[in-house]
Amino acid sequence: MATLVRWSPFRELATMQTEMSRLMNGLVEGNGQTTESWVPAVDVWETEKELVYAFDLPGIPQDKVSVEVEDSSLTVTAERERQQEVQNDRFYRFERRFGTFTRTIGLPQGISEDSIRAEFRDGVLEIHVPKPEQPKPRRIQIGGGDEQATIEGTAK
């Protein structure tokens, strides 16, 4: 029996944006040199009152993580340093990425920047962004002539 899966274009678009961000961050540095940069995975979910962004940042101390909000954009920057504690052993493979990353995510319009809060626990950075209030309809008086009419709108 075939299973039907509902297509969500916004989820597909978010996945594509994440993959493009990873690709572009891994290609070139500002001076044209290739880099070994990395972009951590991020989960985004929504509750009734807020949007939550959770970044996986294992091995990064809290003082090396920066969260900034400017012009409806959330920017997370962090640095993970390679520690060469083993002196005379042979290394056969380096797969963990080190260095600095920056990830910028657009926020919905109308967000109060003062109400955003961040928590860093067990290598996971969670950023809680309260949802903006929905615009409320307003009443407009129509003038001109002897009669005054009122137009009312409703929010959907």
Nearest Cα neighbor of 40 from 143, 106, 131, 126 is 126
pLDDT, the chain, mean: 78
pLDDT attached to residue 38: 73
For residues 48 and 76, give the distance between their C-alpha atoms in angstroms, rounded to a whole number.
Answer: 24
Q: Are 90 and 78 in contact (CB under 8 A)?
A: no
For residues 34 and 18, give the distance between their C-alpha atoms in angstroms, rounded to a whole number.
Answer: 20
Look at the block and give the residue holding tokens 């910028």. Answer: 104
Q: What are phi and psi of 135, to 5 degrees?
A: -65, 140
The backbone region for 37, taken as left when phi is positive above 0, alpha when psi lies in -120 to 50, beta otherwise, is: beta
Structure token pair of residue 144: 């001109």
Rounded mean pLDDT of 145-152?
60
Q: Is 80 helix (H, G, I), strand (E, B) or coil?
A: strand
pLDDT attached to residue 118: 95
Q: Is 124 helix (H, G, I), strand (E, B) or coil?
A: strand
For residues 155 and 34, give the distance between their C-alpha atoms in angstroms, rounded to a whole number.
Answer: 51
Report the predicted TM-score, pTM, of the whole model to 2 decimal places.
0.60
- Between residues 28 and 8, the one the model is more confident about: 8
For residues 79 and 99, give the distance between their C-alpha atoms in angstroms, rounded to a whole number.
Answer: 5
Residue 148 pLDDT greater than 60, yes or no: no
- Residue spans of the domains in the chain: they are 9-84+94-133
> pLDDT tens-digit profile of 22-64?
676 555 544 444 445 678 889 999 999 999 999 999 888 999 9
Can you name the CATH fold of 9-84+94-133?
A: Immunoglobulin-like (2.60.40)
For residue 19, the one-letter residue type is E
- Between residues 21 and 80, the one the model is more confident about: 80
pLDDT attached to residue 33: 43
38-47, 72-81, 82-91: least confidently modelled range? 82-91
Sheet with 124-130: strands ordered across: 42-46, 50-56, 124-130, 117-121
